[in-house]
Structure 1
Amino acid sequence: MIRERLLGAWKLVTFEAWTADGRQYSPMGRAGQGYIVYSPDGHVSVSLSRGDRQADDAGRPIHRLDDAGAAALARSYTAYAGPFEVDEERAVARHHFELSLDPTMIGTLQERHVRFPADDLLELSVKPGASGLDTSTVLWRRA
């Protein structure tokens, strides 16, 4: 069963995406970091970050930065959480966005196509046209 195999914490390996015209890019850079956690009670939490994020020269926390400094940090990080369910027949995890760094995603339902290329690897992919997102594939290793 897919749902049982998803449960637990997974650490980011790679995150690749493709625009409608076929241009490939890495949304979190080549050194991206992140976790996805699927809980037994049916919740998912995702945090993704560029690996090259830096504090400002004074080492101030984000809430003490001006808008430009905070915006730069926000663009290098994304997170969301909410309930999830699995469509076993279609091999799809359905993420209900209740919280998100991007408020346009709150209240949406996002489908992630699920594949397990190895016992300790999880591949989640988004197909073209899904809520305006680019096609993407995220590879995770069990944490």
Structure 2
Amino acid sequence: MTTADGAARPGARALGRAAAGLAVAGSLLHLLLLDATSLASLAMAATAAVCLPCAWQLWRRPTRSAWRTTVLADVTMLLLHAQLLGEPAAGGAAHAAHHGAAPGAPAWTGLALVAGSLAAGAVALAGDRRARHRRGLLPSVHAPA
């Protein structure tokens, strides 16, 4: 196995599959909020589709590269969605406007899914870094004595 293969570590496959499930659930949540008459809603569906290749990769073989891409996407989503929820009149209501409701359960559920995926990514990347350090693949941060 290569050093980039995160599946070599115990539990890596289960963690990858859990994160893949969170990504698919987030995509489905976005699709539930679709409104064909809203351009913003269609853009939201397109961005939800962006999650699926990472979910597939995390499900099959959770590599360090897939985890880094997932963490970057998660951070971006958290920043965008937090901004939408923080704008009561414009952004927050616009995100859920296709159903005429203020941000509620779907928005908070989405944030929870992204936060869970981000936590899984942090655990996976930290574990991969420790494993690579033990195998001598990373330089030591300590000065020689």
TM-score, L = length of structure 1: 0.23
Which has the bigger relative contact order, CA under 8 A and spacing at least 6? 2
Pick the structure with greater CA Rg.
Answer: 2
Q: Which has the higher helix share?
A: 2
Q: Which has the higher strand share?
A: 1
TM-score, L = length of structure 2: 0.23
